Amino acid sequence: MSRRPFLAGNWKMNKLVGEAVDLVKGIVDGVKGIIDKDILVCPPFTALSEVSKIVKGTNVNLGAQNCSYKDSGAYTGEISPSMLLDLGCSYVILGHSERRTYFGETNEIINEKAKLAISKGLKIVYCVGEVLEERKNNQTFDVIKKQLDQVLYNLDLNSVIIAYEPVWAIGTGLTASPEQAEEVHSFIRKTVSNIVKDAGKNFDVNDLVILYGGSVKSSSIKGLMECEDVDGGLIGGASLKAEEFLNIINNAK
């Protein structure tokens, strides 16, 4: 097993270029010397170029928040995996609940994006999770199994990180308890193990990094990280302030 703590900041549609530069400078300065954790920042598209210059040669990785399922052509407004690589990205977030909810992205679309992104050399942070009604109706495992089965079956899992984000906890201030998080993370690892077996893949599921996302704070990350199958966090609002993001990183053991 070679899993290391992985802390990713999803800035969403926040920060103008100058603000993004100031934020990432604070993060880069604050994580100098940290060699036992993987750190990722995912600014909006408009800030990727300038942020890339600052993180280059540091221990902070650069990711994007989305990409197209096409790599070039007449697709107005889209951004391709090759364009992200050209800007210095090594990761891309796919399948976030906001993309599913607001922009109608299906598992099939996400799979197409993931296949292309991985084929071009990007690693993906693939988001799964249930809405509150689904949890109340005891559908959590059914929903997540479908999200995993329909997206991961034909992917190189060595290039995949999974983020469990209960939709009811994103931006609400609510956080799943460590027990709730571990229950789902353990289920994810077992489900991926079955996908590996069914597809005859050569992949050790114990190496799969699974993050928790959903109102993660410096006060909650320690308890979450004590869970056997929780390997880090995909952090939203708390990643927009360098001090809080650094506190999360430092508290993630």
The identity of residue 9, as a single letter, is G
pLDDT (tens digit, 9 = 90+) per residue, 187-220?
Answer: 999 999 999 999 888 899 999 999 999 889 999 9
Output the average pLDDT for the chain. 95
Report phi then psi at 42, rounded to 5: -125, 85
How confident is the model at residue 200, as a pLDDT? 87
Of all residues in the chain, the percent with pLDDT exceeding 90 is: 90
As a whole number of angstroms, the distance between CA 108 and CA 223 comes to: 34
Neighbours of 108 (CB within 10 A): 10
How confident is the model at residue 89, as a pLDDT? 98
Residue 129 and residue 180 in contact, taking contact as beta carbons nearer than 8 Å: no
Given a cut of 70, is residue 249 above it in pLDDT? yes
| Mean pLDDT of the region 72-93 | 98
How confident is the model at residue 168, as a pLDDT? 84
pLDDT (tens digit, 9 = 90+) per residue, 91-101?
Answer: 999 999 999 99
As a whole number of angstroms, the distance between CA 105 and CA 143 comes to: 15
Residues with catalytic annotation? 96, 165
How confident is the model at residue 215, as a pLDDT? 85
What would the two tokens of residue 77 be? 């407004």
As a whole number of angstroms, the distance between CA 183 and CA 67 comes to: 30
As a whole number of angstroms, the distance between CA 117 and CA 113 comes to: 6
How confident is the model at residue 174, as a pLDDT? 75
As a whole number of angstroms, the distance between CA 168 and CA 134 comes to: 10
26 CB-contact burial (10 Å; exposed 0-12 / middle 13-18 / buried 19+): middle
How confident is the model at residue 1, as a pLDDT? 52
